[in-house]
Amino acid sequence: MESDNLAKFKKIVAGLSPEKRKQIYDRMKGMSKQEAMAVIDRMVEISEQHSKIEITARPKVLAGGGHETTVSRPDFEVRSPRTWTERKESDDNKIEIVKNPGTKTNRPSASRPMQRPIKKAEPAVARAGREQVARQIEQRELEKIEAELRKEKNKELAKRAGKFALVCFGRVMATLLATLVIVLAGFYSFLTIIMKGPSTHLRDQFVPSVMESSAGGVLAKMILSDEEIEAIMNSNTTHEFEEITDTTLVNAMAAEQNRQTAEAEVVVNELDPDGDGIEVHDISGPMYHGKMLVIYDPSRVMVATIDEYNHSGAGLTLKELIDKYGGVAGVNGGQYEDTNGMGIGGWPEGIVISEGELRMGYLGGTYDVYGLTTDNVLVVGRMTAQHAMDIGVRDAVSFGPALIVNGVPANYSGSGGGLNPRTAIGQREDGAILLLVIEGRKTSSMGATMADLIDVMLEFGAVNAANLDGGMSSAMWLYDDELVSSSSIRVSRQMPTAFIVLPQDAGNGNAGQSTEE
């Protein structure tokens, strides 16, 4: 059964011209049933709001008598601008002149004077104006309805778009969360297989490697207890020496002769083709590669350091430390405070002796001392700062462990440590200094163990050698080339100390003189 508004709407439309009906139906074709019913209700409402418009019949003017009579029938009526009902033109719309119905006599005196006929205004003009107004009102109302419908439609679209965006965002976040959980679960499973799997060799390589890094120890602690980690580290360590370097094993005179020979026969020295007194060797192993510098004259090697130490301050990069003293080459030096692995390097740890001055440590303290004496002999061992000063140590830092002492390699268990970037210093019997840097924590070079360092130093004839600070600090510069780059993912590490090589003419008595002096 049709609703009342639908019946009224059909009645309204039936009274319209075919063009109007077609126009309304065309507009409603693309609408949903709900939108069409809203238009129908609105049109019926508008139709009922407007009162019926009645137009009074035009009076007929009596000719001659001046008497006006009113005709009760109107010219036409418009029920409402919204009914679209038109009425046919009445015969009363025509101009009509009515004779005086007075006394029928031909006497001029008995008749009233003739009046000029009065024309009635053409009602079609007024009707056209009303129809135009009605059309304008209709158009405005339709536009208003359409605007309201568009507004509602836009709201609905915005609501749907918001729901869709929310759903998409939720799905993306759920996917990311699920992916993260899967990755973490896979990574945890991977660590579990490495550290508790069947391969003890893989475990013994991995655990020391992460425990020796600044922040990697947390990986081992995710799977293993502190007791298990300690047991693995003890089974893969390098044992400390009790003795220190016997300086008589290094022939300082041979070192001086070697230096003079290198300078005099630079043309025939294939290992030093440019005659700068420095050899460069490529070092490689199963899991690593690196560089070795051989400096003929040990007096050219010294400890460069920053001017002021500060717990919250920053050190200098290796290249900056080399340039500060006018050096030509260098490697990173001793241990330093590295809170949260940030590597700002403003505070060294252990002992620092530079240019014969005790810069860090106190005389009664005992330290691992790795450095050169005034006789240009590399001293390796644990001693007090007072003893180091007494035997003439001019440049030294602390780290460890010692790798070779008096020609004897250190004892180690397992692999002697993990795979990591490494830096080491050594000295041959002829006095030449060995500076070794192994690149690590990269796909091209995983790193070296302490056992690897010992093997390389023995291969190059070291009688004394020690491990220096490694990890992300390990780097080597020669002139303006970075032969081995730091594994730091940020900028170059800042450090408080470094072993640097001075130019050839700065050796012997000039060793240790800063360019700032």
In a domain, 489, yes or no: yes
Is 436 in contact with 423 (CB distance < 8 Å)? yes
State whether 444 and 300 are in the same domain.
yes
Domain count of the chain?
2
| The pLDDT value given to residue 486 | 73
Rounded Cα–Cα distance for residues 304 and 317 (Å) = 11
Answer whether residue 420 is part of any domain: yes
Contacts of 110 (CB under 8 A, 6+ apart): 103
DSSP secondary structure string for all residues of 186-221:
HHHHHHHHHHHSS-HHHHHHHHHHHHTSSSTHHHHH
Is 299 in contact with 427 (CB distance < 8 Å)? no
Confidence (pTM): 0.63
Q: Do 294 and 443 have their domain in common? A: yes
| C-alpha distances out from residue 454 to 78, 201, 404, 472, Å | 114, 20, 7, 20
pLDDT at 119: 54
Cβ atoms < 10 Å from Cβ of 214:
14
Residues 150 and 287 in one domain: no
- Could you give the CA distance from residue 486 to residue 476 in angstroms, rounded to a whole number? 8
Same domain? 152 vs 252: no
Please report the pLDDT score of residue 143 as a whole number: 86
Q: Based on the domain organization, do 289 and 416 belong to the same domain?
A: yes
The answer to whether residue 96 is domain-embedded is yes
Cα atoms found within 13 Å of the Cα of residue 240, Cβ hemisphere only: 10
Which range of residues forms the domain containing residue 315? 247-504
**Amino acid found at 267:** V
Domain membership of residue 173 (yes or no) is no
Nearest to 57 by CA among 36, 68, 72, 37: 72
241 lies in a domain?
Answer: no
Domain boundary pick from 161, 188, 214? 161
Give residue 341's pLDDT.
65
**Whether 260 and 385 share a structural domain:** yes
222 assigned to some structural domain: no
Query: Dmax of the chain from CA atoms?
Result: 174
Which residue from 403, 435, 434, 404 is spatially nearest to 416, judged by alpha carbons? 403
475 and 326 fall within a common domain: yes
Where is 354: in which H helix or E strand?
Answer: strand 352-354
The whole-angstrom separation of Cα 493 and Cα 479 is 18
Contact in structure between 300 and 506 (CB atoms under 8 Å)? yes
pLDDT of residue 258: 59
pLDDT in tens, the chain (517 residues): 456 788 888 888 887 888 888 888 888 877 888 888 888 888 888 877 764 444 444 444 444 444 444 444 444 444 444 444 444 555 544 444 444 555 455 555 555 556 666 555 556 667 677 778 888 888 888 888 888 888 888 888 888 888 889 899 988 999 988 898 888 888 778 778 777 777 777 777 777 777 777 666 777 777 788 887 878 777 777 777 878 888 787 775 555 555 565 555 444 567 888 888 999 999 999 889 999 999 999 999 999 999 999 888 889 999 999 999 999 999 999 999 877 666 578 899 999 999 999 999 999 999 999 999 999 999 999 999 999 999 999 999 999 899 999 999 998 877 777 888 999 999 999 999 999 999 988 888 888 999 999 999 999 999 999 999 988 889 999 999 999 987 665 567 889 999 999 998 765 444 444 444 3
Residue corresponding to tokens 């001293």: 379
Give domain status of residue 235, yes or no. no
User: Domain end: 115, 133, 161, which one?
Assistant: 161
Instruction: Kindly give the interhelix angle for 33-49 and 4-14, rounded to the nearest 10 degrees.
Output: 70
Does the residue 66 lie in any domain?
Answer: yes
Q: Are residues 131 and 264 in the same domain?
A: no
Contact in structure between 210 and 219 (CB atoms under 8 Å): yes
DSSP conformational letter for 436: E
Domain boundary among 104, 138, 161: 161
Site of tokens 């692999």: 415
Question: Are residues 156 and 254 both part of a single domain?
Answer: no
Rounded CA separation 275/296 (Å): 11
411 shares its domain with 289? yes
Element (H, E) at 321: helix 318-324
Q: What is the rounded CA–CA span in Å between residue 193 and residue 147?
A: 67
Half-sphere exposure of 262 (CA within 13 A, CB side): 23
| The dihedral sign for the CA sequence 486, 491, 496, 497 | positive
Residues 322 and 419 in one domain: yes
Instruction: Say yes or no: 142 and 258 in one domain.
Output: no
Long-range contacts (CB closer than 8 Å, 24 or more residues apart) made by 144-150: 145/38, 145/39, 145/42, 145/43, 149/31, 149/35, 149/38, 149/39
Q: Are 393 and 373 in contact (CB under 8 A)?
A: yes
Q: Could you tell me the two tokens for 439?
A: 């690149």
